[in-house]
Amino acid sequence: MDYSTDIHWRFGQVVTAVREYVEEQMQLGFLELEENENQLRDRTSSYADLDLTGLRELAVACEKCELSKTRTHVVFGTGNEQADLMFVGEAPGADEDQQGQPFVGRAGQLLTKIIEASGLTRDQVYIANVLKCRPPGNRNPKSSEIESCEPYLIRQVMLIQPKVICALGTFAAQMILRTDAKISNLRGNFHSYHGIKVMPTYHPAYLLRNPGGKRQVWEDIQKVMAELNLSIPRPDAS
Ligand code: SF4
């Protein structure tokens, strides 16, 4: 193959690779739905001057959607406000609604074990949900509720500036990544949310029903820890 033929062949390979990547991203919904920085700024403009304390005070009094009528407590979020790692779930459950803290029920206890197995504590990460109030009976969030509540999470992320967000479960992953793709297709790889790396993985509540998924979650957590340049302690190291 002469130089001219070779360079054309290589160019064709690059074009094919780019086309395949774009098609894959479009199938996952990323290219159609990606929010630009101006849109993001517009959606959080009313919170632009608030720090996390002010944002929490606003959320605690929030009546922007009908969930305010049935909640016991607003579950804003908890943990290290300078955390490199942020976990984001879907919405509070019954235990969280009662206590006003995220991930404190059975699924939360499993999340705590996962965090501790990775060598961290809950105090070293930040934990929040997309929705700050519990949907009655743990029903799926409505799109109008996500739309109303999402600016709180966006502002939290902007203030905390984590290096990695671990999105727990379908709703959190789909909301953050603006996609309809299944969690089984999203997990295992890093995605981007306004420059922050996002690792979707299964929700701990799913793991309680499907313990077989723990291996995949652990693989995802190992990738997160590697991205943060943190080593996972050996099981016998403590
Ligand atoms: S779910 Fe969010 S938007 Fe709805 S009332 Fe609670 S804090 Fe407000």
Check whether 23 has a pLDDT greater than 90. no
Does the pLDDT at position 70 exceed 50?
yes
Contacts with 118 (C-beta within 8 Å, 6 or more apart), sequence order: 221, 224, 225, 230, 232
Bridge partners for 193 per DSSP:
196
Ligand 1 atom nearest to 148, measured from its CA: 3
Residue nearest to atom 6 of ligand 1 (CA): 133
Q: Whose Cα sits closest to atom 2 in ligand 1?
A: 149
Q: Report whether residue 68 contacts ligand 1, using a CB cutoff of 6 Å.
A: yes
3-state SS record for 40-105: HHHHCHHHCCCCHHHHHHHHHCCCCCHHHHCCCCCCCCEECCCCCEEEEECCCCHHHHHHCCCCCC
Q: How far is the CA of 170 from the centre of ligand 1 (A)?
A: 20
Domain boundaries, the chain: 35-227
Whether residue 124 has its Cβ less than 6 Å from ligand 1? no
Tokens of 175: 């909301």
Give pLDDT, residue 33. Answer: 43
**The pLDDT of residue 237:** 52
Decide: 153 in ligand 1 pocket, CB within 6 A.
no
Task: Select 35-227's CATH number: 3.40.470.10, 3.40.50.1980, 3.40.1190.20, 1.10.10.350.
Answer: 3.40.470.10
Query: In the structure, what pLDDT confidence band is assigned to residue 194 with cuts at 50, 70 and 90?
Result: confident
Atom number, ligand 1, closest to the C-alpha of residue 131: 1
Residue 100 has pLDDT above 70, yes or no: yes
Closest atom of ligand 1 to CA, residue 71: 6
H-helix or E-strand spanning residue 17: helix 3-28
pLDDT value of position 120: 97
Cα-to-centroid distance, 175 and ligand 1 (Å): 15
Q: Which amino acid is at 5?
A: T
Angle between helices 170-177 and 143-160 (to 10 degrees): 70
Q: What is the pLDDT of residue 234?
A: 78
More confident residue, 27 or 193: 193
Q: With a 6 A CB cut-off, is 72 part of the ligand 1 pocket? A: no
Q: Return the percentage of the chain with pLDDT > 70, whole number.
A: 81
- Mutation choice for ligand 1 from 46, 50, 68, CB with most ligand atoms inside 8 A: 68
Q: SS3 of 132, please?
A: coil
CA distance 94 to 131: 14
**Nearest partner of 204 among 110, 123, 70, judged by Cα:** 110
For 33-69, what is each residue's pLDDT tens digit?
445 666 666 667 778 889 999 999 999 999 999 999 9
CA-nearest residue, atom 1 of ligand 1: 133
Q: Which residue has the tokens 């002010």?
A: 54
Average pLDDT, the chain: 88
Burial class from Cβ neighbours inside 10 Å (0-12, 13-18, 19+) for residue 4 reads exposed
Q: pLDDT for 200-214, tens place per residue?
A: 999 999 999 999 999
Ligand 1 center–CA 35 separation, angstroms: 21
Ligand 1 center–CA 179 separation, angstroms: 22
Please say if the pLDDT value at position 236 is more than 50.
Answer: yes
Asked whether the beta carbons of 138 and 170 are under 8 A apart, the reply is: no
Q: What are the CA-CA distances from residue 37 to residues 97, 193, 207 (Å)?
A: 33, 11, 35
134 lines ligand 1 (CB under 6 A): no
pLDDT at 232: 85
Task: Assign 141 a pLDDT band (cuts: 50, 70, 90).
Answer: very high
In the chain the beta strands, taken as DSSP E runs, fall at 78-79, 85-89, 126-129, 164-168, 191-193, 196-201
Contact, 28 vs 179, CB < 8 A? yes
